[in-house]
Every structure is written in structure tokens, then in C-alpha cells.
């Protein structure tokens, strides 16, 4: 599989975890990258590492929860030749609904949903005019069930998956593709930000194998990719189990 036909990828949340790994794996395949996140130093270090691979790397320090800051990306998407958008930046906070400060609850909606929809809105017309381009939105296996103590996060990821799959359908025949990637627990900084949930960390995937599986699925043109065999089984089980049972099991796993 190769991404050589994509010339430039804009990757949000590139300072750590999935985003960093997407940038490295794409760069190794010859795709230039635009790295977006808040931690500028981390982006600069990664860009320097990537340039050694012989591709171009730009950095944009941006708080995507801030609508004014993220609006700057419109011009970048419209006028710098980006043909692969990876909406990866996201976070979750574990805890009872009102135990989590409201700024974090709303922040999850601002970042996981609103920023993702906005950047996709900028990219679709540009890619359609070219008749080529790919939008990869990072959802989660959390999108398959309502999860007590992770309520806003799981609902935000269900939005991402439904939105992306519907968009992929709309875009059929245009040369533009959209893909929802659904990772399960993976070794990144995610759980440091989310708060401890040791029961959720069983069978964590390595981020390198998760990203390489994601890129293979995107290259095959899949609209939904669930990463890893056990996560695929889990996604299937949520369709077979009664919802109440799934929620009871999920609430045991997320209880702190």
C-alpha cells in the first residue's frame, strides 16, 4: 500500500500519539506534512525528524478548541495543496457527568466535533474541485455504545463515526473519500489526559501497528476501519448484545 498519490497531509494532534505516528508513517511513504497541535516545541522536534526523511514538514501551533485560532487553517487547506486531512486531535475525560468541570465537557464537543466538522467543511470543496483527496476522521470503538462515566466523549465519537460514514456515502463517485477510523485502547498519552481507567487498558494496541492498519484500510477505500482483531469483535458484540447489558459492562470498566 502506498500514499504516494497524496502529496500533502494536514494532521491535527500531531504532537503526540496517533497524530505523531500518522505523520511519521506518511512521511516515510513520501507525503509532505503539515503538523497541527498546541505544543509547538513537540511539533518542531517532529518536523526536524521528518525533514531528515526527505519530505517537507510545516508546523502550525493552534488551539483547535478556539474557533478564532482554528479558522486560520481555512487558508492552509484551501491554498497550500493539502489533499489528505487527518482530523485526529481529540480528548476524553473519564468521570461522572457533573464531576468533570464543564469546560472539559464542552471542550470535548468543541475539539472532537466542532473543529473536525469545520476542517472537513473547508476541505471537501477543495478536494471536490480537484476530484481527489481523502478525509480521515478519528472516531473510536467508544462510538459503538453509550458509555456511562465517559458519556460526552463516547457520544462525541458516535457523532464522528456517523457523520463520516454519511459523508463518505455523499462523496461516492467524486474521487474524494472519507473514512472513520475506530481505534480501541492504544498506547498514547490519551489515558494520561482522560484520567486513570486501568480496566480499559487491557490489551492496549501499539500505536505504530494501529496507524499502519489504519493507513492500509484508508488506502483500500474503506469508510469505517475498526483497528485490531479484539476491537473488531467488540464492535460486532455491541450489535448482538442488548444495549442495557453493554452499558452495564461499560460502566463497570469506566468506574474509577
Ligand X SMILES: NC(=O)c1ccc[n+]([C@@H]2O[C@H](COP(=O)([O-])OP(=O)(O)OC[C@H]3O[C@@H](n4cnc5c(N)ncnc54)[C@H](OP(=O)(O)O)[C@@H]3O)[C@@H](O)[C@H]2O)c1
Catalytic positions are 153
User: Which residue among 3, 65, 85, 124 contacts ligand X (CB under 6 A)?
Assistant: 65
185 near ligand X (CB under 6 A): yes
Part of the chain binding ligand X (CB under 6 A), chosen from 52-60, 164-172, 184-192, 248-256? 184-192
Q: How many residues does the chain have?
A: 256
C-beta of 3 vs 150, nearer to ligand X = 150
Contact window for ligand X (CB under 6 A) among 63-71, 75-83, 234-242, 247-255: 63-71
Tell which one of 6, 8, 10, 13 touches ligand X (CB under 6 A): 13
Interacting residues with ligand X between 19 and 58 (CB under 6 A) = 19, 37-39, 42
Site for ligand X in 142-181 (CB under 6 A): none
Binding site for ligand X (CB under 6 A): 12-19, 37-39, 42, 63-65, 88-92, 111, 138, 140, 183, 185-186, 188-190, 193
Amino acid at each position: 500500500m502506498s500514499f504516494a498519490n497524496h502529496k500533502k497531509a494536514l494532521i491535527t494532534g500531531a504532537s503526540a500519539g496517533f497524530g505523531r505516528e500518522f505523520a511519521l508513517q506518511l512521511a516515510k511513504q513520501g507525503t509532505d506534512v503539515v503538523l497541527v497541535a498546541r505544543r509547538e516545541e513537540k511539533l518542531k522536534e517532529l518536523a526536524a525528524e521528518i525533514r531528515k526523511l526527505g519530505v517537507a514538514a510545516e508546523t502550525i501551533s493552534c488551539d483547535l478548541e478556539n474557533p478564532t485560532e482554528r479558522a486560520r487553517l481555512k487558508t492552509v487547506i484551501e491554498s497550500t495543496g493539502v489533499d489528505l486531512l487527518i482530523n485526529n486531535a481529540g480528548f476524553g475525560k473519564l468521570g461522572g457527568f457533573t464531576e468533570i468541570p464543564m469546560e472539559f465537557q464542552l471542550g470535548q464537543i468543541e475539539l472532537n466535533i466542532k473543529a473536525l466538522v469545520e476542517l472537513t467543511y473547508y476541505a471537501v470543496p477543495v478536494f471536490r474541485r480537484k476530484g481527489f483527496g481523502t478525509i480521515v476522521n478519528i472516531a473510536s470503538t467508544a462510538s459503538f455504545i453509550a458509555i456511562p462515566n465517559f458519556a460526552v466523549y463516547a457520544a462525541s465519537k458516535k457523532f464522528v463515526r456517523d457523520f463520516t460514514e454519511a459523508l463518505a456515502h455523499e462523496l461516492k463517485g467524486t474521487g474524494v473519500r472519507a473514512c472513520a477510523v475506530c481505534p480501541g485502547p492504544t498506547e498514547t498519552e490519551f489515558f494520561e489526559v482522560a484520567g486513570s481507567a486501568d480496566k480499559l487498558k487491557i490489551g492496549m494496541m501499539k500505536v505504530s501497528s494501529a496507524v499502519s492498519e489504519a493507513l492500509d484500510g484508508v488506502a483500500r477505500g474503506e469508510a469505517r476501519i475498526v483497528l485490531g482483531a479484539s476491537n473488531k469483535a467488540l464492535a460486532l458484540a455491541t450489535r448482538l448484545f442488548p444495549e442495557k447489558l453493554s452499558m452495564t459492562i461499560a460502566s463497570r470498566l469506566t468506574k474509577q
